[in-house]
Structure 1
Amino acid sequence: MAQSKKYDYRVTEKGGVWSAAIIRRVTARRTAVSKKQGKFATEAEAIAWAEAELKTFLASQSERNKRKAESRIEREAAALRQAEKAERKAAERAAKREPNPEAVDDEFDFSDFGDD
């Protein structure tokens, strides 16, 4: 199975005018246009624009991914701290509700349970 790039560019010609588009591979069969520009006089101009834009596009995507990863790590750490805090509070509440196992209930009358 051939592996293709997630981002690439496509250059097309229609009526003597060239256009270029940065495309993203969504699925194996579907692509989406992330950025495009047209009205280039030659194919070489369109390719030059596409290659330059692809480099800047990938750099900005990389920076965006790093920022998102940092914020995701912070969110997950905050959620973990909150879950631990909730767990401690639940344990404290449970400890308050539990009767002391060493305490003896001397007030209970066992006389009703005869050896009849």
Structure 2
Amino acid sequence: MTDDAIFDDAIPDFPPPVRRIARAAWKDGVASDGERAVPEETPVALTYNGTTQAVMMATPSDIAAFALGFSLTEGIISAPSDILSLEVIAVALKLGFDRLAAACGVVQR
């Protein structure tokens, strides 16, 4: 198996690394509406042989390349061919309304 095949097979579909949001601006006494590009970030845990080495925020694209660069820079591997397998696991967590409301200070009894 080639290095590229390991990376290609491991990558699930992620949202684009940048999203556009509405914005309002005030400049020189004049208000204007428009859009702004905002980077998407997600927590990424890098785990080797069952042990988590690092958790950091990253854009949700090129996760495999990010993991490869981290692994090389930290000396965990000495060459890309040292990686026998790579698995990217996407996890979506959802808060229940009661948890979200409590976090916002709205508590019903």
Larger radius of gyration: 1
The TM-score with structure 1 as length reference comes to 0.25
Query: Greater share of helix residues, 1 or 2?
Result: 1
Query: Greater share of strand residues, 1 or 2?
Result: 2
